[in-house]
Amino acid sequence: MEVGLKMGMKGGGLNHVGGCEKAKMGFAETELRLGLPGGGGSGEGEVVRKRGFSETVDLKLNLSSKESSGMDANDEKVKVLHKEKNLLPCATDPAKPPAKAQVVGWPPVRSFRKNVLATQKGSSEESSEKAAFVKVSMDGAPYLRKVDLRMYNSYQDLSDALAKMFGSFTIGNCGSQGMKDFMNESKLMDLLNDSDYVPTYEDKDGDWMLVGDVPWEMFVESCKRLRIMKGTEAIGLAPRAMEKCKNRS
C-alpha cells in the first residue's frame, strides 16, 4: 500500500499565498531591463522587461490549486518539463504573463524532502489551525455531529470516537489485515451484513466510499463528510469502492 511518495500531491497543501503586502519595495528602481535574445549587449535594446515581483505574486493568486499542485507531480518520473520561458520573447507583453508561474525545480529542494514534509502536515501546529472538521450524520439519528479528523491518528481512534458519539456500530478490524479484508469482496459482504451500521464518507470527487479502504492520511485529506449508514443500504457502495481502489493502486 503506497503511502509515501505520492501523498503530498493531493490536497495542494503547498499552496498558501501570503505576504503580497511585502511588495512595497520600490520595484520600479530595481526592475532589470533585458535586451532581446541575440541582442548581446548590456541593456541596449530595452524592450523586454523582466516581470516585476508584484506581477509574479499576482499570478499565483489566479491559479487554481489543482494546476499548481500538479506542477511538481510525480517527482523524478515526470516525462514533461514545463519550463517557464520568462526570459524569452513571449514575455514581451508584460501585462499578459504566462499561465504557469511556478517553475520546475525551484526552490531547489529535492522531491524526497518535499514529499516527506507534505505528508507530515497532519502533525504540525499549522494544520491544526486548518482543522479538518467534517459533518457526521447517522441514519435515524435526530441531529448531526461534527468531528475534527485531525484529532485522530487512525481509523481505530475515529471508530472509538464515533462509537461514543452514536452508540452501537463498528468499522470492524482496522489493522492492515482489516484493510485487506475490505479488498476481499466476499469478506466485505459478510461485514456489511453483520454490522448494524457502517461508516461511509463523501470524498473530494463527490463519491460515497466505504471508510477504511485508503491509508489514514489519504482519508483525512479527501474526506468531506461522514455518513453512518445502515449496513443493508451500504451494500450497494461496496462494488464501487472496490472499483475505485483498484483504479487507485
Partner 1 sequence: MRRNGAEDMSEDDERQQSPRSDLEFTSNKARYCKATGSASDHPDQVLENVLENVLHFLTSRRDRNSVSLVCKSWYRVEALTRSELFIGNCYAVSPGRATARFTRVRALHLKGKPRFADFNLMPPDWGAHFNPWLLAMAKPYPWLEKVYLKRMSVTNDDLATLAESFSGFKELVLVCCDGFGTNGLASFVSKCRQLRVLDLIESEVIHDGTDWISCFPQGESHLESLIFDCVEWPINFEALERLVARSPLLKKLRLNRYVSIGQLYRLMIQAPQLTHLGTGLFSPLEIAGQGDQELDYGTAFAACRSLVCLSGFREIIPDYLPAIYPVCANLTSLNFSYANINAEQLKPIISKCHKLRVFWVLDSICDEGLQAVAATCKELRELRVFPINAQEDIDSPVSEVGLQAISEGCQKLQSILYFCQRMTNEAVIAMSKNCPDLVVFRLCIMGRHKPDPVTGEPMDDGFGAIVMNCKKLTRLAVSGLLTDKAFEYIGKYGKLVRTLSVAFAGDSDMGLKYVLEGCSQLQKLEIRDSPFGDAALRSGLHHCYYMRFLWMSSCRLTRQGCQEIAHAMPRLVVEVIRSADMEMDDFVETLYMYRSLEGPRIDAPKYVTIL
- Residues making contact with partner 1 (CB under 8 A): 2-5, 14-20, 22, 25-26, 29-30, 32, 34-35, 37-38, 40-43, 50, 53, 56-57, 60, 72, 75-81, 83, 85-88, 102-114, 116-117, 120, 123-125, 153-154, 156-157
| Least separation in angstroms between CB 207 and partner 1 | 27
| Least separation in angstroms between CB 143 and partner 1 | 28
Residue 135, φ and ψ in degrees, nearest 5: -75, 140
For partner 1, give the closer residue by CB, 25 or 141. Answer: 25
For partner 1, give the closer residue by CB, 38 or 206. Answer: 38
Q: Which residue's entry shows cell 524532502?
A: 113
Nearest alpha-carbon partner for 61 in 102, 11, 92: 102
Provide the residue type at 10 as one letter: K
C-alpha cell at 30: 530595481
Contact (Cβ atoms closer than 8 angstroms) between residue 94 and residue 57: no
3-state helix, strand, coil in the chain (%, to 5): 45, 15, 45
| Least separation in angstroms between CB 195 and partner 1 | 22
Helix (H) or strand (E) holding 71: helix 65-71
| Least separation in angstroms between CB 229 and partner 1 | 26
For partner 1, give the closer residue by CB, 83 or 204. Answer: 83
For partner 1, give the closer residue by CB, 52 or 231. Answer: 52
Is 125 exposed, middle or buried (CB count within 10 Å of its CB: 0-12, 13-18, 19+)?
A: exposed
For partner 1, give the closer residue by CB, 86 or 170. Answer: 86
| Least separation in angstroms between CB 136 and partner 1 | 20
| Least separation in angstroms between CB 14 and partner 1 | 6
For partner 1, give the closer residue by CB, 103 or 165. Answer: 103
Residue 148: strand, helix, or coil: strand
Measured CA to CA, the distance from residue 1 to residue 150 in angstroms comes to 21
Peptide bond into 107 cis (omega under 30): yes
